[in-house]
Amino acid sequence: MKLRPSSKSSARDAFARAEAAAKFIRAKTKLRPQIAVVLGSGLGAFADALETATRIPYSRIPGFPLSTADGHAGHLVVGQSGGIAVAVMQGRVHLYEGYSPAEVVFPTRVLGRLGIRAAILTNASGGVNLSLKPGALVIVRDHINLLGRNPLIGPNDERFGPRFPDMTDAYSSSYRRAALEEAKRLGIEIREGVYAAVPGPSYETPAEIRYLRTIGADLVGMSTVPEVIAACHMGIRVLGISCVTNMAAGILDQPLNHQEVLDTGERVSRQFIGLLRAVIPRLAADLKA
């Protein structure tokens, strides 16, 4: 079956728009980062501590979707962490905000065209595994996509990546190992887990959480997975770090609310920032190898 010309044109336009946005960002800073960090709900403080930083509101970047969720500042900050250039997204967009999968991963596309080769994707999550507690940091080992949508559906532009990208090592095993080693060195208690992505914005029901636990999920959230898929498509290696900001529905006898997510993120920010600062040099060294 042949694709309609309009569909082909739309796919090619996405590449051109990503290239235009990357060109705009390059014009704002002399730094040329190869490492990106995406900060989830309540985890934005890392960006505020960067050196020689250039802060660009998403609203100024051509074609960039705007964050509407609480705890997502909506800035791209290009700066240095320990002398290493990084591009940090202070907040992201989600499907539940009304964006399409292509719009959700457009910032990831832009980062790829900017020259990013490694990405640390962070999120706030609900704890599904009963052994997790609020404030725990978890290295994402794998994910379960329950969003019902994939950002690669539609015509494929080979300039982004192959039609059928391999997801076997979507969360780089060597990056996970480096993060676990640095956490141990810093005395941070950490473990690995599987992240389940759901559309939201409503929190899950107790029955849904029991289902997620049965199929092997340790964490649940409403983000990250589309970005990981797009990153793998473009050959960007990924490290996923999740902060358990609340226990999922039915585990504790209390209602869920977003303020708890923000409060817990703020409480663990020192450990979280320490881990990021320790891991970034490991990723930078790997890129040079």
Residues taking part in catalysis? 41, 72, 94, 96-97, 124, 222-223, 246, 258
Q: Would you call 251 helix, strand, or coil by DSSP?
A: coil
Residue appearing with tokens 């708890």: 260
Three-class DSSP labels, 18-78: HHHHHHHHHCCCCCCCCEEEEECCCCCHHHHCCEEEEEEEHHHCCCCCCCCCCCCCCEEEE
Beta bridge partners of 240: 121
Whether cis (ω within 30° of 0) applies to the bond prior to 201 is yes
Q: How far apart are CA 76 and CA 98, in angstroms?
A: 21
Q: How far apart are CA 87 and CA 61, in angstroms?
A: 14
State the amino acid at position 214 in one-letter form: T
Question: In this structure, how many other beta carbons lie within 10 angstroms of the beta carbon of residue 269?
Answer: 17
